[in-house]
Amino acid sequence: MRRNTKAFIQICLLIIGVIMIMLFVNMAILTNNNIRKANEYAKVMIRHIQDQISERRSDEDHAEELIRRDYISSADTVAYILDSFPESGKTTKELQEMAEKVMADEINIINTDGVITASSSESNVGFDFRAEAPGYLDNILQERSGKEFERITKNTPSGVEMAYASCWCEDRERLALIGINKTRYDSIMSVVGISQLIKGIVLSEGTRVYVASSGSYIIVGSSDGELIGSHFNKTGARVNNVALYDTYFFSASILGVDSYCAVAERNGYYVLIAQEKQVVNGGVVDSSVIMFVYLCVAGLSIAFLMRSMTKKLMAEEERANRDNMTGFLNRRAYETQMISYASVVPSSQNFTLAAFDLNGLKVINDSKGHDAGDELIRGGAECIMTAFGQYGKLYRVGGDEFMGILDINAETLDDRKRHFEKLTSEWRGQKVIRLAVSAGFVSHAEFPDRTVRELEKLADERMYRAKDKFYQESGQDRRRPR
């Protein structure tokens, strides 16, 4: 019976395991299909955007005019600050902070002689435009009025290509000169056309597009309007392996969102397509939820079925191991327990075997009938259970024979013996007025080297000696009724 129960449980566990494997396989297949579709979509979008960029002809004159106006306004802002706060703009740090706010690469303060008196780049201080770059600022220095913008030139203190915007302060004693390096200038020129192009592209849900210059890594267009003018690294993507692939596929956290990414480079621009994993795999989540619910229902059904079957099997096993008349475990259960001990020597000092035998059962059966004999058996079992039931397992191993496998110390055992003798002596039945039970007890503490089977034999011997003594002292004939 136990083997059947164990086999049934193993089958149930196997079914649950198969369902779990099916769930993971289903998720893996759906996820791979979704990634494949996402990559195909990304390749199509990259090709489309690159074609649009190639065909696009931005209005350079319009773009330059926007840059000119913006940076002349920035130069005007710096001059206004210098006029309003005479103590400001005298240190490199202050000018660096101003340059950062107006998105310029440097700010120079020039006196009427054309000498840089303060700069966001400390190495520029002392540079003399009239002496070292003759003709470059002559008209501005001579007129000492107006606002000017100069396109990219190399006539700068640092020797770096820059565009300049200038504005005189109200005192006409200081000229604010705003410098924009070529990289920033080119990026802004590109933004005018590409940023509008990218914003106008229709994208699927959860998709973002970023376009950056492959020379400067400056973002010149994005579908969400974010990070324009920033370095490409701020997206969280990487482009170091792009040169190895026609289109480079990878996973990354784009602005904090886990995404499937694809990037390619052509005609001087990186195009990044980022698709949110949560959106791409939305169907996988839905399918997994359905499968999970199914798994839970199936698991609960199996659990309830297993519980019902287990209870049924246990009940059947209990009935098979239980004596109906006394409620004691039967001989089958006793032999099963003893087989488990085999040649084992008990480990507990309190391990005790008890053998019981009813005196005169055959005489009662012959003289008063089996109903009276059954009453005697139940009476003996009741006394045994009352005295020893809480200390271990009790078995009815024959018609009038009982065994007990107890966990009880010597002192308690002596007390229980006396109580048992009192119970049997006071017992009265309706058909039988007297009850006598012979008993033999053997503990591991008495015979520490004996096996359980050897202790069983000793308990039987003591019980039979007690039985012989009972008949000798009572003067009763075992064959005659009491």
- Is residue 481's pLDDT more than 50? no
pLDDT digits (tens, 9 = 90+) for 456-471: 999 999 999 999 998 8
**What pLDDT does residue 415 have?**
95
What tokens does 472 get?
């000798």
Q: What is the pTM of this model?
A: 0.42
**What pLDDT does residue 478 have?**
52
Q: Provide the pLDDT confidence category of residue 424 given band limits of 50, 70 and 90.
A: very high
Contact status, residue 186 vs residue 216, Cβ threshold 8 Å: yes
SS3 category, 213: strand
Q: Averaged over 10-16, what is the pLDDT?
A: 70
Lowest average pLDDT, out of 82-91, 214-223, 282-291, 463-472, goes to 282-291
SS3 category, 122: helix
247 DSSP 8-state letter: S
The C-alpha atoms of residue 86 and residue 442 are separated, in whole angstroms, by 111
Q: Provide the pLDDT confidence category of residue 2 given band limits of 50, 70 and 90.
A: low
% of the chain surpassing 70 pLDDT: 86
- Is residue 409's pLDDT more than 90? yes
146 versus 397: the higher-pLDDT residue is 397
Highest average pLDDT, of 7-16, 150-159, 200-209, 375-384, comes from 375-384
Q: Which amino acid is at 324?
A: N
At 152, give phi and psi (nearest 5°). -50, 130
Q: Which amino acid is at 3?
A: R
Residue with tokens 């376009």: 211
Percent helix, strand, coil in the chain, to 5, is: 50, 20, 25
| Best CA proximity match to 411, nearest among 322, 330, 350 | 350
Lowest average pLDDT, out of 35-39, 154-158, 160-164, 393-397, goes to 154-158
Q: Provide the pLDDT confidence category of residue 482 given band limits of 50, 70 and 90.
A: very low
Pairing of strands 329-330, 392-396: parallel
Contact status, residue 164 vs residue 150, Cβ threshold 8 Å: yes
What tokens does 45 get?
């979008």
CATH code given to domain 329-474:
3.30.70.270
Q: For the chain, give every domain's residue range.
A: 62-186, 329-474
Q: Provide the pLDDT confidence category of residue 243 given band limits of 50, 70 and 90.
A: low
% of the chain surpassing 90 pLDDT: 29
Lowest average pLDDT, out of 201-205, 347-351, 353-357, goes to 201-205
Lowest average pLDDT, out of 140-154, 269-283, 357-371, goes to 140-154
**What pLDDT does residue 355 have?**
96
Q: Averaged over 419-436, what is the pLDDT?
A: 92
The C-alpha atoms of residue 341 and residue 456 are separated, in whole angstroms, by 11
pLDDT digits (tens, 9 = 90+) for 115-144: 999 999 888 899 988 888 887 788 888 888
Say if 62-186 and 329-474 have the same CATH topology.
no
From 3.50.50.60, 1.10.540.10, 3.30.70.940, 3.30.450.20, which CATH number describes the 62-186 domain? 3.30.450.20
Query: For 95-117, b where at least 16 C-beta lie within 10 A, e where not — what string?
Result: bbebbeebebbbbbbbeeebbbb
336 DSSP 8-state letter: H
At 58, give phi and psi (nearest 5°). -75, 150
**What pLDDT does residue 393 have?**
94
Q: Averaged over 95-102, what is the pLDDT?
A: 88
- Is residue 157's pLDDT more than 60? yes
360 versus 285: the higher-pLDDT residue is 360
**What pLDDT does residue 299 have?**
64
Query: For 192-222, b where at least 16 C-beta lie within 10 A, e where not — what string?
Result: bbbbebbeeeeeeebbbbbbbbbebbbbbbb
Torsion angle of alpha carbons 126, 127, 130, 133, nearest 10°? 170
